[in-house]
Every structure is written in C-alpha cells, then in structure tokens.
C-alpha cells in the first residue's frame, strides 16, 4: 500500500470536519433542548405563581366580601334599632301630648260635668257614713258644692270637701272619715290604667306593626 | 315639648294635619325632589332627631333614603303607611280616650 502524506492529511481534515459538524449539530440540539426545558420550567413556574396569586386574590376577595357583608348587616341592624327607638320616641311623645291634652281638658267647661259624673259613679260604692272629698287645688271650686249640700240633707251619706289638703292629680279622691276606705278616680289613674292599651293601639294604627 | 324631642313630619296633607292636631309639626310634600331637598335642609339644621315620612314618598326616593340613613349625623327616618289617613288615626285616638277614660 502506497503511503501518501498529503492524502492522509486530507483524510484527517475531512474526518475532523465531519466530527466538528456532528458536534455542532449535537451541541445545537442540546442547546435547543436546554432552551426548551428552561422555557418550560419558566412557563411552569409562571403558571404556579399565577395560580398562587389567583388563590391569594380569591381568598382576599372572599375576606373583603365577608367583611363588607358583615358591615352591611351590622349597619342594617343599627338602622333597624334606630328606627325602633325612634318609633318608641314618637309613641312616647304622642302619649305625653295626650296627657297634656288631658290637662287642657281640666280647664274646659266639660271637666265640671266629668267631675260630677265621676262623683255620681262613686256613690254606687258607698255605704252610709262620713266621707271627705279631696281635689286638685285648681279643681275644688269646679265641683258643684250645692250638690253635696243636697246630698248631706237627704241621705245617710255625709260629705265634706277638704280645703287644706289637696291631691296632685285632676279628679277626685274620696276617703271615709276614719280612713278605712278610699276611692281614687283621677284622670291620671284612668289614663295610667289604659296607657299600654292606648299606646299599642296607636302603634298599630301608625306603624302597622 | 315635642319640638325639644325633635320630631318632624314630611308627607301628605292628611299626615301633616293629623300629626299637627296632636302637636307635632311638619310640612306637606308633594314631589320626590321636594322631599330630598327638605331632608337635606332638616339634617343641616340639626334641630330634629326623627323625621316621620309617608312610605309612598320615601319609596319614590328609595336610593336617597338608603344613603341618608347611612350617615349617623342625619335624623332617623321613620316611615308610616299612607293608606290610613292620620286624621282618621287622630279621630280613633279621641274615640279611644272617650271610651277608656271618659273624656
């Protein structure tokens, strides 16, 4: 076999070229794969991060919504309570006004008739004896005293009007002289007895509840 | 006394007259815009704690009422139904007093 140095060198060059080409292709392939892997890793990391952020946002939104709902509920309850209290105040004001009207009534001419009627009703509960009538200091002159004189003459019931002691309310307080028996018929007593009934009727009419 | 308690009425003629008969003052309101304007004026005056308003009227300014209620500085709004005339209520109370107290 003939040995030719130049052809050998050419052969070597060609082989080296081939090896280099192969290496280049392989290196490029490896780089491409590495790039793809890294790209995928970044994409995966991004997705995980996005999901985490989404989760945090969802939890935060839920919390905010819950807080907002709670606040709205509390405000609603507070407004409802304020309305209930306001309704109570309106009713109290109306009841006070009614009481004022009752006091105004005691200054009217109809009040004299009312006193007379109240006294007449009291007579049904009395047994023979001596009695003292007490009035509010503005009232005792409004009571028809001649009526008492007539009664004192004709019956076993004897009455006198207390001029030194008065009652606080408008109406009549009747006591037996021995103080064993007494009847109080005043506007305040009557009003207080019916107060709750009147209040609840007004509430029903006014607020329908 | 009621002025001190600070109650005011806004609503129909019948409502305002009815409350007026027992001594609670107010103003007849016919339009939703008048109601809004008066509610703002009343709140600014800070004289009244409670405002009684016909539910029909407050229904016309529902959103305004909701926001009005959210401000704790504003008077409390109490709605009353307007299907029953308040003067009729006044007459009923008078009748009730006559029957229960005799005056």
Helix axes A187-207, A5-105, angle to 10 degrees: 140
The residue written with tokens 């307007």 in the block is B82
pLDDT digits (tens, 9 = 90+) for B41-93: 999 999 999 999 999 899 999 999 999 999 999 999 999 987 655 677 777 77
- The percent helix, strand, coil of chain A (3-state, each to 5) is 70, 10, 20
pLDDT in tens, chain A (209 residues): 556 778 888 888 999 999 999 999 999 999 999 999 999 999 999 999 999 999 999 999 999 999 999 999 999 999 999 999 999 999 998 898 888 888 889 999 889 988 988 999 998 999 999 999 999 988 878 888 887 888 788 778 899 999 889 999 999 999 999 999 999 999 998 899 889 988 998 898 888 76
Nearest by Cα to A187 from B99, B102, B96: B102
Whether B49 and chain A come into contact, CB under 8 Å, resolves to: yes
The residue written with tokens 């409390």 in the block is B76
Q: What is the CATH number of the domain that holds B96?
A: 3.40.50.10580
The answer to whether the beta carbons of residues A172 and A122 sit under 8 Å apart is: yes
Structural domain boundaries enclosing B21: 2-100
Give the start-end residues of each E strand in B29-92: 50-54, 76-80
- The percent helix, strand, coil of chain B (3-state, each to 5) is 55, 15, 25
Helix (H, G, I), strand (E, B) or coil at A166: coil
In a 13 Å sphere around the CA of B92, the CA atoms on its Cβ side amount to: 16
The 10 Å Cβ neighbour count of residue A101 is 16
Q: Chain-centre distance of CA A143, in angstroms?
A: 48
Contact between chains at B80 and A206 (C-beta distance less than 8 A): yes
The 10 Å Cβ neighbour count of residue B69 is 18
CATH architecture of A109-207: 2-Layer Sandwich (3.30)
pTM, entire model: 0.73
Task: Tell me how close the Cα of A205 comes to any Cα of chain B, in angstroms.
Answer: 7
CA of B77: which chain A residue's CA is closest?
A: A83
Task: Give the total number of structural domains in chain B.
Answer: 1
Q: Any bridge partners for residue A185, and if so which?
A: A172
CA of B15: which chain A residue's CA is closest?
A: A206
């Amino acid at each position: 076999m003939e040995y030719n140095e130049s052809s050998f060198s050419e052969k070597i060059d060609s082989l080296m070229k081939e090896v280099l080409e192969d290496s280049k292709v392989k290196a490029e392939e490896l780089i491409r794969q590495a790039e793809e892997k890294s790209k995928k890793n970044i994409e995966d990391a991004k997705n995980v991060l996005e999901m985490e952020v989404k989760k945090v946002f969802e939890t935060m939104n839920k919390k905010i919504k819950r807080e907002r709902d709670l606040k709205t509920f509390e405000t609603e309850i507070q407004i409802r309570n304020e309305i209930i209290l306001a309704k109570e105040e309106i009713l109290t004001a109306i009841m006070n006004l009614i009481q004022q009207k009752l006091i105004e009534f005691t200054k009217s001419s109809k009040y004299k008739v009312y006193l007379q009627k109240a006294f007449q009703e009291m007579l049904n509960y009395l047994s023979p004896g001596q009695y003292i009538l007490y009035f509010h200091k503005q009232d005792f002159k409004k009571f028809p005293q001649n009526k008492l004189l007539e009664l004192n003459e004709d019956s076993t019931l004897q009455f006198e009007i207390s001029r030194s002691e008065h009652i606080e309310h408008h109406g009549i307080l009747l006591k037996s002289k021995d103080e064993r028996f007494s009847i109080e018929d005043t506007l305040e007593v009557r009003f207080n007895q019916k107060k709750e009934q009147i209040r609840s009727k007004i509430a029903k009419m006014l607020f329908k509840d | 006394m009621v002025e001190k308690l600070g109650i005011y009425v806004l609503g129909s003629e019948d409502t305002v007259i009815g409350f007026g008969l027992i001594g609670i003052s107010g103003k007849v309101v016919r339009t939703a815009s008048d109601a809004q304007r008066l509610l703002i004026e009343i709140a600014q005056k800070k004289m009244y704690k409670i405002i009684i308003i016909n539910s029909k009227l407050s229904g016309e300014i529902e959103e305004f009422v909701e926001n009005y209620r959210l401000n704790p500085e504003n008077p409390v709004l109490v709605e009353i139904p307007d299907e029953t005339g308040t003067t009729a209520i006044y007459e009923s109370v008078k009748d009730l007093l006559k029957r229960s107290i005799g005056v």
